[in-house]
Chain A
Amino acid sequence: QKEVEQNSGPLSVPEGAIASLNCTYSDRVSQSFFWYRQYSGKSPELIMSIYSNGDKEDGRFTAQLNKASQYVSLLIRDSQPSDSATYLCAVTSGTYKYIFGTGTRLKVLA
Chain B
Amino acid sequence: NAGVTQTPKFQVLKTGQSMTLQCAQDMNHNSMYWYRQDPGMGLRLIYYSASEGTTDKGEVPNGYNVSRLNKREFSLRLESAAPSQTSVYFCASSQTSGGAYGTDTQYFGPGTRLTVL
Contacts and interface: CB of A to CB of B under 8 A. Distances in A.
Interface in A44-94: 44-46, 49, 51, 88, 90, 92-94
Interface residues of B, number: 26
Contacts of A32: 98, 101, 104
B48 interface: yes
Given A92-B98, A96-B31, A96-B97, A101 B108 contact: no
A51 B40 CA distance: 27
Contacts of A42: 110-111
A96 B33 contact: yes
A43 B111 contact: yes
A44 B94 CA distance: 14
A44 B56 CA distance: 23
A88 B42 contact: yes
Contact of A43 (B40, B41, B90, B102): B90
Interface of A: 4, 31-32, 34, 36, 42-46, 49, 51, 88, 90, 92-98, 100-103
23 contacts: A4-B42, A31-B101, A32-B104, A43-B90, A43-B108, A43-B109, A44-B43, A46-B105, A49-B102, A49-B105, A51-B102, A90-B43, A92-B98, A94-B98, A94-B99, A94-B104, A95-B97, A95-B98, A96-B31, A96-B33, A96-B45, A100-B42, A102-B41
